[in-house]
Amino acid sequence: MKKIFLTVVVALTAALAATPAFAQQAPTKAAPGTETVFVVKDAKGKVQSYLKSVVDAVNETDAMNYSVTTTVTMMGDDRQPMMDPITTTARVVNGQLDMSSMLPPMPPEAGKIKIEGTLPPVHPVTEVGQEDAFNITTSAEKLPISFTIEGVNRVIARESVVVPAGTFECFRNETEMTVKAMMMAQSMKTISWSNDEVGSVKSETYNERGKLETVTELISIKRP
């Protein structure tokens, strides 16, 4: 039972962790086979982990209806996998992201996973000045688990950003959000830089006191 509980907690946390990312930018339709690797560092610059993402497939009906399947591998500071790769498909339907499509298979003991609330609409074109709110709650039918994340994302500026993978023209997004789990609530702020073709290039996370906690940067990209 403990293993099932932890599996569901990880899955729901992953879904909520993705919420601010999709508030900042819809799933990027990179060519299948595109591989990106990110490094995550603490405020002092010490490497905490790496993340590798590979685009497996892109299926598009039009700009407001498409899906992107990716396989993500979490790695430790030694670049060794911390767990089995996770493959998910992010679907955009009529201009809205279907969060339920991003969940990995759940054990039957957990019951159905319920996702309620709203994400910002998928904008066909990103523009400085766009501002969208989001409010998402996820829960497991047969387990006492519930997570909520709410906040607002703003597109602040267009800037050139230099990271180990190169120099990219990006939109700078600022996302303020509050995560509620069980009896606790925590506020945070994320500043991210997203490129139209590559997706996320860099992000910085700050705690509720405004102190920098983590920096994530794109360190390599391989195109097919």
Residue 157's domain is classified under what CATH number?
Answer: 2.40.360.20
Predicted local distance difference test score (pLDDT) of residue 138: 78
pLDDT tens-place string over residues 46-103? 999 999 999 999 999 988 899 999 898 999 999 999 988 988 888 888 888 777 666 6
pLDDT tens-place string over residues 137-169? 877 777 777 778 888 889 999 999 999 999 999
Q: Are 97 and 22 in contact (CB under 8 A)?
A: yes
What is Dmax (Cα atoms) for the chain?
Answer: 49
pLDDT grade for 26, boundaries at 50, 70 and 90:
low
Average pLDDT of the segment spanning 205-209: 92
Tokens (6 digits) for 136: 């998402």
Range of the domain at 143: 2-222
Predicted local distance difference test score (pLDDT) of residue 212: 96
Predicted local distance difference test score (pLDDT) of residue 6: 46
- % residues pLDDT > 90 (the chain): 42
- Please name which of 119, 143, 134 lies closest in space to residue 12, comparing C-alpha atoms: 143
Given CA atoms 43, 134, 163, 59 in this order, what sign does their dihedral have?
A: positive
| Average pLDDT over the chain, rounded to an integer | 83
CA–CA gap between residue 55 and residue 217 (Å, rounded): 18
The domain tally of the chain equals 1
Tokens (6 digits) for 135: 């409010």
Predicted local distance difference test score (pLDDT) of residue 20: 47
Name, of 7-11, 104-108, 113-117, 190-194, the range with top average pLDDT. Answer: 190-194
Please list, in sequence order, all residues whose beta carbon lies within 8 angstroms of the beta carbon of residue 145, skipping any fewer than 6 positions away.
5, 8, 9, 12, 139
Q: Are 190 and 174 in contact (CB under 8 A)?
A: yes
Helix spans in the chain (H): 2-24
Predicted local distance difference test score (pLDDT) of residue 1: 43
Q: What is the pTM of this model?
A: 0.82
* Cα 106 versus chain centre, distance: 19
